[in-house]
Amino acid sequence: MLGFLHLRGSTHPRVSWCVFRSTIQASLPPLPPTHTHLTQKATLCLCVTNSNSLRPPRSPAGRRDPIFLRDHLTSQQRDQHASYSQGPSPQGSKPGGSATPGIRLRTRLAVTALFGAGILGTWWYVHREKEQRHQQQRMEQLRKVAVGQGDFSLLDHEGRRRSKRDFLGGWTLLYFGFTHCPDICPDELDKMSSVVRILDEDAGLPRVQPLFITVDPERDDVAAMRRYVRDFHPRLIGLTGTTEEVKQAGRDYRVYASAGPKDEDGDYIVDHTILIYLVNPDGLFLDYYNRMKDDKQIAQSIRNHMKNYVKLFPD
């Protein structure tokens, strides 16, 4: 329902009062659920104009038809009427306020992410510095240990004098045993030879030198060592020497060896440590492998040591 009230003042302006009832609001396009209160309110408009500036438009029939008047209004005027009828904004709301919580949330998330990244970066930097200091200290300790360690001087199976210096710069597998060993020493030398062959299949790895040092110099002379090493890997070098030289070599690697009692034929068994030692290019003992380790496990361990190897002594 629509009504007009016209008043005139002393200066002849026209004061127009118009009231839009819910009938017009119902005929307008549907409003959002949050504006359902608009249909329950009337719209009050006050227009002050000159006497001839604005007249209520008339329908073709000459009547003030509410529907005609509604259609005559521009969209801007309808928007103004709608804004007048809304009354006070809901408590705590502002124009454009619906986007504000999202912006605030994104800002808080961004600040939290930056703060967390800063903490993580600081922790990583401190951890890395600590690891580097630990690595430097370990390198210094290894340098001290490596100097003079296992500096043996023995004869190879060709009668040439060999020392640890002859094998520096390369990886070495070392086994202590004796040629009269019935089964354990041949098995371990076979396993060591298999490890060397496995590593040789990888062209990207350095070659490994296998060494066999006797713990029974009384029977294992140069000739005996020459005959014995032929049954294993072609690069295997047998080393022997005097009793004192052999004991010194074993002592440097903490090898236990003790000859047992002799039988009627003068034969005896030597009880000794059964380990394969890994020596790096700096001459430093890195790892050992007992009888429980097979050739594939040993080869994989050596690969890992090669991958993580850091040179101790500069050229």
**Which residues fall in the annotated binding site for Cu cation?**
181, 185, 272
Rounded Cα distance, 82 and 7, in Å: 24
The residue with tokens 């005097």 is 242
* One-letter amino acid for residue 202 of the chain: D
Q: Which residues are annotated as a binding site?
A: 181, 185, 272
Can you tell me whether residue 59 is helix, strand or coil?
coil
Q: At what angle do helices 295-307 and 184-200 cross, to 10 degrees?
A: 50
DSSP letters spanning 147-188: TTTT--EEEETTS-EEEGGGGTTSEEEEEEE-TT-SSHHHHH
Beta carbons within 10 angstroms of residue 252's beta carbon: 15
Pick left, alpha or beta for residue 231 (phi over 0 → left; psi -120 to 50 → alpha; otherwise beta). alpha
